Amino acid sequence: MIKNIHQIIPKPVTLFILTLLFINCKNNLTMKQENNNPLLCNPEIGVCEMPLNDDVQKKEATITTEKTIKIVYFTDPICSSCWGIEPQLRKLKLEYGTNFEIEYRMGGLLKDWSYNSGGISKPSDVAHHWDEVSKYYGMPIVGDVWMEDPLSSSYPPSIAFKAAELQSKEKAILFLRRIREMVFLEKKNIAKWEHLQQAAIEVGLNPDKLKLDYEGKAQDLFYEDLALARDYGVRGFPTFFFSNSNEQLVLNGFKQYEVFEDTLLQLNPNAKKTTTDTDYKSLFAHYPTLTTKEFATLSNVSFIEAETILSKLASSDKLKRMTTKNGSIWQLAQR
């Protein structure tokens, strides 16, 4: 049977309170089960939650792997809580990546706007919500895309990710990262092909093959992911299934790094931790772009210390900084 840990059960609230919660997600209330807005991501529980489907029943995942641990990660390109978890996930990969493999599955967070209710009925309602979530997670998220060029659905970028996987699993992860940067920081509507194509080119994918697969096989693969999410009883993102040959543990929503580490060590107490250099050159060699929060998490310093270090490197032309109203992202300067 699935063993679910660190799970917080939502408290009932009224639809009126849900509307207020969407506007200011820093309050201490959680979502009501019958809320139909898939973009209502509560940072207190760290979940972007899907509408309840009474037909959903959890099934135990049967996972085999040559590595000790397999992680199945249900996510969505526009899930703000998934963006908020990037520092922890990147650190887990850096320190324990030799002990596990990770499989990305798309969850279909926003099919269209017909799913909304309770006074949350249009894209512009999301803008302020994203700005508030940004402050909570310490990750730069700019909600202006919902005012300037709103997405009608998260299905197109999800399908594009599945198309990218048909070319390269590694480049697909880079592609997912890039389109997230586009939507969260650059205010680009990643439901549009022009932005998906540009992201593909930037990470070294063949855009023509991507388009062919995007219009063909990738759509079937995406709907297989949706079916798998229903089978596993996934109702929110991020959701992680950690498995070894005998046991499975589930993490739902935003968690601190120590929770990820403890979960992995429960399944493999002998997991080998990789010692990595935390100087800026080494970290940017692993991850070409880093937010301030990511750099702080990976280098084990405070957010303020990270900001000071990165600013000095930028002042000496070693790093390039992209600044948004809600934070910065950094990369090595071109020489």
pLDDT of residue 16: 35
SS3 of residue 3 by DSSP = strand
pLDDT of residue 334: 84
Out of 39-48, 58-67, 268-277, the most confident range is 268-277
Look at 112 and 170; give whichever has higher pLDDT.
Answer: 170
Alpha-carbon distance 36 to 39, whole Å? 9
pLDDT of residue 34: 43
Alpha-carbon distance 260 to 7, whole Å? 13
Among residues 115, 199, 111, which one has the least CA distance to residue 152? 111
Among residues 107, 229, 224, 209, which one has the least CA distance to residue 164? 209
Contacts of 331 (CB under 8 A, 6+ apart): 284, 288, 289, 290, 319, 320, 322
Mean pLDDT of 34-62: 56
pLDDT of residue 72: 98
C-alpha to C-alpha distances, 323 to 184, 185, 270, nearest whole angstrom:
12, 9, 41
The residue whose two tokens read 């079916």 is 227
This prediction has a pTM of 0.83
pLDDT of residue 225: 98
pLDDT of 98 strictly over 70: yes
Tell me: the pLDDT tens digits for 220-263? 999 999 999 999 999 899 999 999 999 999 999 999 999 999 99
Kind and range of the H or E run holding 167: helix 155-167
Mean pLDDT of 161-168: 98
The residue whose two tokens read 């300037």 is 148
Q: Which two tokens stand for residue 1?
A: 């049977």
pLDDT of 3 strictly over 50: no
DSSP state of 318: S
CB count within 10 Å of CB 300 equals 10
Looking at the DSSP assignment, which residues form a beta bridge with residue 243?
70, 248
Residue 276: which pLDDT band, with cuts at 50, 70 and 90? confident
Residue 31: which pLDDT band, with cuts at 50, 70 and 90? very low
Q: What domains sit in the chain, N to C, each tagged with a CATH number?
A: 3-147+225-240 (no CATH), 280-332 (1.10.10.10)
Compute the mean pLDDT over every residue in the chain, rounded to the nearest whole number.
85
Least confident residue range of 58-67, 96-105, 292-301: 58-67
Mean pLDDT of 22-51: 51
pLDDT of 136 strictly over 80: yes
Residue 57: which pLDDT band, with cuts at 50, 70 and 90? very low
Tell me: the pLDDT tens digits for 191-231? 999 999 999 999 999 999 999 999 999 999 999 999 999 99
Alpha-carbon distance 50 to 108, whole Å? 9
On the question of a cis peptide bond just before residue 238, with omega within 30 degrees of 0, the verdict is yes
Mean pLDDT of 275-282: 92
Residue 20: which pLDDT band, with cuts at 50, 70 and 90? very low
pLDDT of residue 114: 80
DSSP string covering 93-160, please?
HHHHGGGEEEEEEE--S-S-GGG--TT--STHHHHHHHHHHHHHHTS---TTHHHHS--S-SHHHHHH
Residue 272: which pLDDT band, with cuts at 50, 70 and 90? very high
C-alpha to C-alpha distances, 145 to 94, 131, 141, nearest whole angstrom:
31, 11, 10
